[in-house]
A and B are shown apart, each in its own frame.
Chain A
Amino acid sequence: DTAVSQTPKYLVTQMGNDKSIKCEQNLGHDTMYWYKQDSKKFLKIMFSYNNKELIINETVPNRFSPKSPDKAHLNLHINSLELGDSAVYFCASSDGTHGDTQYFGPGTRLTVL
C-alpha cells in the first residue's frame, strides 16, 4: 500500500497553462506539505497544512494555490505556468510533532515548455 501518492508522475505543458497535482496520504497524518526541488536539487518547502488549515506559506507566488479538501488530501494548483516552475514537486505528510518523520510521495516532475 502506497503511503503517500501523487498524480501525475510526469507533467509536460506549455507556458501559460494551468495545471493541478494531486496528493493523498493513507497514514492518518494531520500535517501535509508541498516541496519544490529545482534543477540544483535544493528541496524547499512551499506550503504546510495542519488539519486542513494553512500554517506555512513560504513566499510562493500566488499563482500557486494549495487546496486541502480533507486531512488525507492536499492538492496543488498552478496558474499561468512559467519556465521557472519546471521542477520536481514532492508532497509529504507527518503527524506534526517535533520529532516526527516526514513521508514523501514519489514526486511529480513538471516540465514547462
Chain B
Amino acid sequence: RKEVEQDPGPFNVPEGATVAFNCTYSNSASQSFFWYRQDCRKEPKLLMSVYSSGNEDGRFTAQLNRASQYISLLIRDSKLSDSATYLCVVKGDGGFKTIFGAGTRLFVKA
C-alpha cells in the first residue's frame, strides 16, 4: 500500500462546479497534513494546511479524519485558473519526512 494515495483523475469540470478530492495515508502517527498545488512545468506551492477541525480559505475547504486516515479538499465555484495538479502531503512522525501523493489533475473548462 502506498503511504499516501490519491485518485489521479483527471477531473474535468465546468466553471462554477464544486469538486472534491480525497486522499488516504497509511501512517497513523503522521502529524501534519497539507494540500499543495502544482501548475504544469512549475514547482509545487502550498495551497493550505489541513487542521483536525477542518479549515476553509475562500472557495477551498480542507477536512481531516484521523480515525479513517483520510484528507479531503473541496473547491467551490471552480475557476479556469484552478486547473492544476493538487498534491496531498503528509508529514511523518519524525517531523522531517514529507510524503507527497501522486497528485490529482483538475481541468476546469469554460
Contacts and interface: CB of A to CB of B under 8 A. Distances in A.
B11 interface: no
A76 interface: no
Contact of B100 (A40, A44, A101, A106): A44
B71 interface: no
Interface in A35-51: 35, 40-45, 48, 50
Contact of A41 (B46, B85, B96, B99): B85
> What class of interface size applies to chain A in its complex with B?
20 to 34
Contacts of B103: 41-43
B44 A90 contact: yes
Contacts of B96: 31, 48, 50, 55-56, 96
Most chain-B CB neighbours within 10 Å: which of A97, A99, A105, A107?
A: A99
Contacts, number: 50
Interface residues of B, number: 20
Given A41-B103, A43-B100, A97 B95 contact: yes
B97 A56 contact: yes
B97 A101 contact: no
B68 to A, nearest CB: 21
Contacts of A13: none
A49 B61 CA distance: 32
Contacts of A41: 85, 102-103
B25 to A, nearest CB: 15
A46 B51 CA distance: 27
Given A90-B44, A104-B44, A104-B45, A99 B32 contact: yes
Contacts of B42: 106-107
30 contacts: A33-B98, A35-B100, A40-B102, A41-B85, A42-B100, A42-B102, A42-B103, A43-B100, A44-B100, A45-B97, A45-B98, A45-B99, A45-B100, A48-B96, A55-B96, A56-B97, A90-B43, A96-B96, A97-B95, A98-B31, A98-B32, A98-B95, A99-B32, A99-B49, A102-B44, A102-B98, A104-B45, A105-B43, A107-B42, A107-B43
